[in-house]
Chain A
Amino acid sequence: MKPTTLHLTLLLSISLLKGISANEKTPWLDEKFVNQKTVGLSKLESSNPAQWRVIWKTDPANKATVSWTTAMVGKNHLVHYDLKSRKGFPKNYTYKKVSDRNGRFSGSGGEHFHHARLAELKPSTTYWFVIESDGLFSPEMHFTTAPVNDRSFSVLFGGDSRSGHFARAQVNLLMAALSEENPEIIAFAHGGDYISSGKNWGQWSRWLSQHELTVAASGKVLPIIPTRGNHDGGPLFDEIFDSPGGKERENYFSTRLSSQVALVTLNTETKAGGAQRTWLGKTLQSLRPEVRWLLAEYHRPAWPAVKRPGAAQEFWVPLFEEFDVDLVVESDGHVIKRTVPIRNEKKDSTGVVYVGEGGLGVSQRKPDLSRWYLRSPGMATRGHHVMNIRFTPEKIDYKVVLLDRSIADQAIFRPRKK
């Protein structure tokens, strides 16, 4: 063999191997793979439990809601769960919880929601479960409750999964892969705009089925912390996510993710300046001395990269600054952005950083890079993405992961000096 041929063969083999490994790491870039996965989603027929999800609200160390859909009303809906894997044999699970809330989805063709509110769970503990509806079962899945100590963990953040169904499936598969590889990832906070039309059951149904793609191959489920977006109006949001925040508080609530981390979820789709603002003030005031990392999330940005500022800028930003919130996550603009630290409408090293703005499948926009708060050390670009935010005692590690797993942006935030 001539040296040149040898070289060529070697080069070809290396590039092929590289190609295979890249493809193995990002199989969702292949259309066939995504279609295959989509076809394999659970069928929404008769009482077959489908469209499963775990929902976190205020107390994820001790509580979680397991939710699912059946195509018909059914009679017996329950969750079997345990601290160990029981390989999906329902009788072997120590605990069971009958669904607390069942009902027909508004505007649906008879599909029903079921919410089993698990309580008295142990913190930082993996729970294995199967869902049963009238003798039909889901595969075994598991999730891990939030810690009450100061251990490190990660949460995925993202918003706007509304219209690009294929890209949405791709990002979901990326999230499943990240979650599988990294046991530290314990939840997924969705920043709103799940679908295009909040009253359209067909669109929600598709989103719910595709949400199954975020479940890892091992059955690991990422509990979802839901935010309401401007496209999510109507009763279905509350039916799907079991009214996060309750009726009195219109979808705003705080989630204690650990002894040192709290996430405040706000609702930009209702009155921002009144009761919600007073609640936010009281909540931040009580949480600030208790936690090292204090975050807020909501849909319409206070510091947008594309659109004009929402009411959050007028009513909530002064509170974020007063109580030194560490990081704020926004959606709606369909870009990737990280602002400079902002205080009193100026760049200030003691200020608050805002990240966002939604890339879970929706078509991306071009950010307006001339806005002062996006200039270096801030940034803005575009691309389908998910944000991986890791909390440790020393720092917040913020990374924006694109579909090909490349990192579009990263930053480190240190604890504020007291």
Chain B
Amino acid sequence: MVNSLETHLSYARMACGLRWIISLQCFGYAASLAVPSHLNSWLLPLQGDAFAGSVDTTIALILWVAGCALPFLGRASLPASQTKWSCPVVRCDAALLCFVAGWTFFNAVLSWQMNIEDKFAATDPFGHAVRFVAPVVLLVCVTGTGYYPKLEGYLRIGIASTFIGHGLAAYWLKPGFVDLIVGTIDTFLGSDWRLAEEREKIALLLLPWIGRIDFLLACLILLPSKYRKTIALWMGIWGFVTATSRLTAFGIERWPDLIIRAANWGIPLLLWWEMRAKIKSSKHS
């Protein structure tokens, strides 16, 4: 009885957290569609600017709606016994989640395919993994077909993939990452072009270690260990720091870059919160 209630609570907590994270992510993706997407670049020579632009606008609109609606469609996120497929709210919820998962996945694949000569872009399907795994997991919660420990496992695989993708890019010294570090140092220590070359050297020293640590964290979150809670917290904080570096390097107008990565930092924090809640409740019982 206690176990069943506990699982129910875990489901509810996870679904609630996922909803807010995915909602934030939707706003980030929608805002980023104010400028042409990878899909737009692909469609442009085939269908022209008007068609490519209208596709972007339509996708943005759906994402804005999803971002607003998802937190309030929470009633549907119950285990199987309480899910009502006949309910239009549940169907709407599922459709939006399918769209969000589809768009985030498609976007990652297109980012790679549209820049096929760029090895860093090839890491995007991994680097973006948690962004499309999160809506899929919530979809499973909604339909009530998932087994809770498995769902948690999928989220851990998603976040590990993201860390491996980013770790690879860091290890290979992605130029964009160097600029994030240099830009952030500039923000805190003052911009000086005479020192820029030295700051680049610092970034080039740091990045391989950042990559190695990302790989290590990805392994640790997958393996069973008593430190998993701490690892999840560490990944959450690090995910937030790296997502925020877009703003510290390039300014507040890059806010969509922070929330588009909501899952990168939100999912490990959610896992940490959930593990903490579980430990607390087991201590009480």
Q: Could you tell me which A residues sit within 8 Å of B by CB distance?
A: 163-164, 197-200, 230-231, 233-234, 269-275, 277-281, 304, 306-308, 311, 314-315, 318-319, 334, 362-366, 382
Contact = CB atoms under 8 A, between A and B. Distances in A.
B280 interface: no
Given A234-B117, A278-B196, A365-B49, A273 B183 contact: yes
A413 B182 CA distance: 34
Contact of A230 (B49, B115, B199, B249): B115
Given A272-B179, A306-B35, A233 B115 contact: yes
Given A274-B178, A274-B199, A278-B196, A362 B249 contact: no
B173 to A, nearest CB: 9
Contacts of B116: 197, 199
Interface magnitude class on chain B: 20 to 34
Given A233-B117, A274-B182, A277-B193, A314 B251 contact: yes
Contact of A366 (B49, B176, B196): B49
A273 B178 contact: yes
A307 B200 contact: no
A41 B251 CA distance: 49
A305 to B, nearest CB: 11
B250 A274 contact: no
Given A231-B115, A277-B197, 14 more contacts: A164-B45, A199-B116, A269-B175, A271-B179, A272-B179, A273-B199, A274-B182, A274-B196, A274-B200, A278-B193, A306-B36, A315-B182, A319-B193, A334-B44
Nearest to A267: B175
Contacts of A233: 115, 117-118
Contacts of A269: 175
A198 B176 CA distance: 19
B117 A278 contact: no
Contacts of B203: 274
Nearest to A233: B117
A307 B35 contact: yes
Given A307-B36, A365-B44, A273 B49 contact: no
Interface string B98-119: 0000000000000000011110
Given A163-B45, A199-B117, A271 B193 contact: no
4 closest cross-chain pairs (CB), A and B? A274-B200, A233-B117, A281-B193, A278-B197
A280 B117 contact: no
Contacts of B199: 273-274
A181 to B, nearest CB: 31
Contacts of A231: 115, 117
Interface string B195-215: 111011101000000000000
A363 to B, nearest CB: 5
A365 B43 CA distance: 12
B36 A275 contact: no
A365 B117 contact: no
B10 to A, nearest CB: 40
A296 to B, nearest CB: 14
A281 B118 CA distance: 28
B215 to A, nearest CB: 23
B45 A363 contact: yes
30 contacts: A163-B45, A164-B45, A197-B116, A198-B117, A231-B115, A233-B115, A233-B117, A234-B117, A270-B175, A271-B182, A272-B175, A272-B179, A273-B178, A273-B182, A273-B186, A277-B193, A277-B197, A278-B193, A278-B195, A279-B197, A280-B193, A304-B35, A306-B35, A307-B36, A311-B176, A311-B179, A311-B183, A318-B193, A319-B193, A363-B49
B45 to A, nearest CB: 4
Interface in B33-59: 34-36, 44-45, 48-50, 53
Contacts of B53: 365-366
A400 to B, nearest CB: 19
A307 B35 CA distance: 5
Contacts of B182: 271, 273-274, 315
A271 B115 contact: no
Nearest to A304: B35
B21 to A, nearest CB: 24
Contacts of A366: 49-50, 53
B183 A275 contact: no
Nearest to B40: A365
A280 B194 CA distance: 10
Contacts of A365: 36, 44, 49, 53
B183 A315 contact: yes
Contacts of A278: 193-197
Given A197-B117, A233-B115, A308 B35 contact: yes
Nearest to B202: A274
B205 to A, nearest CB: 12
A279 B182 CA distance: 15
Given A278-B194, A315-B183, A273 B200 contact: yes
B230 interface: no
Contact of A315 (B176, B179, B201): B179
A373 B110 CA distance: 31
B49 A311 contact: no
A336 to B, nearest CB: 14
Contacts of A270: 175
B145 interface: no
B191 interface: yes
Contacts of B48: 363
A273 B44 contact: no
Interface in B219-278: 249-251
B78 to A, nearest CB: 40
Contacts of A318: 191, 193
A198 B53 CA distance: 25
Given A234-B117, A281-B194, A314-B250, A271 B178 contact: yes
Nearest to B204: A274
